[in-house]
Amino acid sequence: MESLDWCLNQPKIELHAHLNGSVRDSTLLELARALGERGVIDFNDVESVISKDDRSLVECFRLFDLIHVLTTDHATVTRITKEVIEDFASENIVYVELRTTPKKNAVIGMTKRSYMEAVINGLKSIDSVDVDYIPSGMAQQNSSTTLTGDGIIGMSNGSVRKKIYVRLLLSIDRRETTAAAMETVKLALEMRDVGVVGIDLSGNPVIGEWATFLPALKFAKEQGLAVTLHCGEVPDRKEEISAMLNFLPQRIGHACFIKGEERIKLKSSKIPVEICLTSNIRTERFPSLEYHHFIDLYKSKHPMVLCTDDTGVFSTTLSREYSLAASAFGLGRKEMFELTRSATEFVFADDGVKISLREIFDAAAKNFM
């Protein structure tokens, strides 16, 4: 296995990370204990669910419902956003697209907008690293900083701080109606000035119909938002996969069960694929990595990037995903560096960010290849 340390140190790009799936276990347990003490939940039941290591896709979605009970209030959403971004920055992720499903909860006065404002407050509250989430042209330039090549900022006072670019994707949950999906897209459009760059379609892949989400996704595309779709996550979805590929999203996630004609269509479309190895193995999409479609896509030079999906739920990190790919598919350092660097070309942020990311990887190349 390529040393985890090396994978930890190389600059990385994360494009498929769900906020509530990336919460630290320690935070979930703390929140569960507090709700247990108030008699809202039975802590012992919840503790065993959170601490369990491998879970089927069905169990996984039950866990998400439980996590949402624990996290869905404004202060907690702010807290988990802060922690998740700090965790990503600590493993030298220089650019992350964090996705989350805006939620409503009338009892506590939460609207989709106030949920997202809580996320933004989380980004604002981070002081251990520089967080760039405001798109170019709207950012306050900090003239006292210079790039040193690995996502690290050299300050004029001599101290060294990390910098992470954060952009947000709003997720439509497959349980939602057309109207709810449209509300999410409209919110995304209103929040472009605070770093929202696109829309994701996710949620339990055996629920919901493509036709329900299509009007909102079309509208998003027409309005210039980028779209990524969870596509081919479960078997026997030929029609849906075909319709999704015809839609020409800017990226797709998973793509585990794209076979035959659709596989050919995917390859000729060059739509980049977000690959989540541990998630796919834990949810039993493949018996082992040997059967994973990573290697087929990689050998045919299809655009792709390694991602975590849910670092909390699947107990992984992006560094670990690179280390796994190295050992399972024989990637060397140069290949891993190039794999993450190539994602620069399909991030949803504007060209200014792409130029900065290219500079970061160019400067880091001498140390990592």
Helix (H) or strand (E) holding 49: helix 43-51
Segment 140 to 199, residues that bind ligand 6MZ, using CB under 6 A: 171, 173
Task: Give DSSP secondary structure letters for 127-148.
Answer: -SSEEE-SPTTTSPP-TTEEE-
Q: How far is CA 239 from CA 78, 178, 251, 269, in A?
A: 39, 20, 18, 17
Instruction: Give the span between the Cα atoms of 168 and 116, in whole angstroms.
Output: 10
Region from 15-23, 208-216, 341-349, 350-358 binding ligand 6MZ, contact rule CB under 6 A: 15-23
Cα torsion 147, 148, 149, 153: sign: negative
Choice between 230 and 293, CB closer to ligand 6MZ:
230
Taking CB under 6 A as the rule, does residue 82 contact ligand 6MZ?
no
- The correct pick among 18, 237, 251, 285 for binding ligand 6MZ (CB under 6 A) is 18
Segment 301 to 330, residues that bind ligand 6MZ, using CB under 6 A: 309-310
Report the Cα 13 to chain-centroid distance in Å.
10
- The correct pick among 10, 20, 78, 92 for binding ligand 6MZ (CB under 6 A) is 20
Choice between 17 and 326, CB closer to ligand 6MZ:
17
Buried b (16+ CB within 10 A) or exposed e, 28-45: bbebbeeebeeeebeeee
Taking CB under 6 A as the rule, does residue 11 contact ligand 6MZ?
no
Cα torsion 350, 354, 355, 360: sign: positive
- The correct pick among 15, 31, 32, 60 for binding ligand 6MZ (CB under 6 A) is 60
Taking CB under 6 A as the rule, does residue 21 contact ligand 6MZ?
yes
Taking CB under 6 A as the rule, does residue 297 contact ligand 6MZ?
no
Report the Cα 294 to chain-centroid distance in Å.
18
User: Least CB distance from residue 252 to ligand 6MZ, whole Å?
Assistant: 12
265-294 footprint of ligand 6MZ as x/- string (CB under 6 A): --------------x---x-----------
- The correct pick among 10, 101, 250, 356 for binding ligand 6MZ (CB under 6 A) is 101
Q: Treating both helix axes as pointing N-terminal to C-terminal, what angle do 112-124 and 74-90 enclose, rounded to 10 degrees?
A: 40
Residues that bind ligand 6MZ (CB under 6 A): 18-21, 60, 64, 100-101, 171, 173, 202-203, 205, 230, 233, 279, 283, 309-310
Catalytically annotated residues = 233
